[in-house]
């Protein structure tokens, strides 16, 4: 039964993605906000299908932040990006530059929300990321970053990268940690029924030293995530 439910969702996901990617292709030449509206519609349709076909819903704890703040989230599955894109107000998302090379998907990412980083470019990558992040903040939009840089299975040892501390120091804005447990329900092809919980935790004020900030961020996210796991 779970295989069938997961298969039905995958069919829905592929159908929605292919149809919308092609149908709305002209939006790439238009204003960014039109493309954002399409992307939000795609994310919403995907999560709707996830609940209808796989029985996987969502529960939100805390209040999603508004305006120009840095949001640092645990990352366990693709669900995280979809849900946070809907819960936040038009966020700029820090992501790997390689994703922008994916046909259609990468084109929409670049148009809508990408703050791309080239991990092999060293200091130049940080400068470009900072420039793009400042542009997002100038528009009073939040920035979303996954500080571990990749997806982690539930219970896996944390591995926080320094990029989030660099943004925090340069941007001088509060940072909102986010905990979640999507990895219990979204496991590659298989999707499991239940409610994924995402929790917006107590924000970290600007001005902390790098080591203090990183320790506080990791502690809050990991403790918040552990509380959501069995």
Domains of the chain: 56-226 (3.40.1130.10)
Whether the full predicted model's pTM is greater than 0.85, yes or no, is yes
- Six-digit token string for 190: 């298989």
Give the chain's length: 230
pLDDT in tens, the chain (230 residues): 899 999 999 999 999 999 999 999 999 999 999 999 999 999 999 999 999 999 999 999 999 999 999 999 999 999 999 999 999 999 999 998 888 888 888 999 999 988 887 766 566 777 888 888 999 999 999 999 999 999 999 999 999 998 899 999 999 999 999 999 999 999 999 999 999 999 999 999 999 999 999 999 999 999 999 999 99
Between the CA of residue 81 and those of 10, 172, 179, 205, what are the distances in Å?
A: 17, 24, 13, 24
The C-alpha atoms of residue 194 and residue 184 are separated, in whole angstroms, by 9
The C-alpha atoms of residue 137 and residue 134 are separated, in whole angstroms, by 5
Classify burial at 60, counting beta carbons within 10 Å of its beta carbon; exposed 0-12, middle 13-18, buried 19 or more: middle
């Amino acid at each position: 039964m779970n295989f069938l439910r997961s298969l039905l969702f995958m069919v829905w996901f592929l159908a929605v993605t292919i149809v919308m990617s092609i149908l709305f292709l002209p939006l790439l030449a238009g204003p960014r906000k039109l493309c954002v509206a399409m992307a939000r519609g795609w994310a919403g349709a995907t999560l709707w299908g996830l609940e209808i076909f796989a029985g996987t819903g969502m529960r939100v704890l805390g209040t999603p932040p508004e305006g120009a703040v840095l949001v640092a989230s645990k990352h366990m599955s693709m669900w995280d990006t979809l849900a946070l894109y809907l819960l936040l107000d038009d966020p700029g998302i820090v992501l790997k530059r390689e994703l922008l090379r994916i046909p259609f998907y990468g084109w929409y990412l670049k148009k809508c929300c990408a703050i791309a980083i080239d991990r092999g470019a060293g200091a130049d990558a940080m400068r470009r990321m900072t420039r793009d992040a400042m542009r997002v903040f100038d528009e009073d939009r939040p920035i979303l970053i996954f500080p571990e840089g990749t997806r982690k299975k539930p219970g896996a040892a944390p591995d926080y990268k320094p990029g989030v501390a660099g943004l925090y120091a340069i941007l001088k804005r509060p940072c909102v940690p986010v905990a979640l447990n999507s990895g219990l329900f979204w496991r590659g092809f298989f999707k499991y029924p239940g409610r994924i919980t995402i929790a917006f935790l107590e924000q970290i004020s600007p001005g902390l030293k790098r080591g203090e900030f990183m320790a506080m961020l990791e502690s809050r996210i990991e403790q918040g995530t552990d509380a959501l796991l069995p």
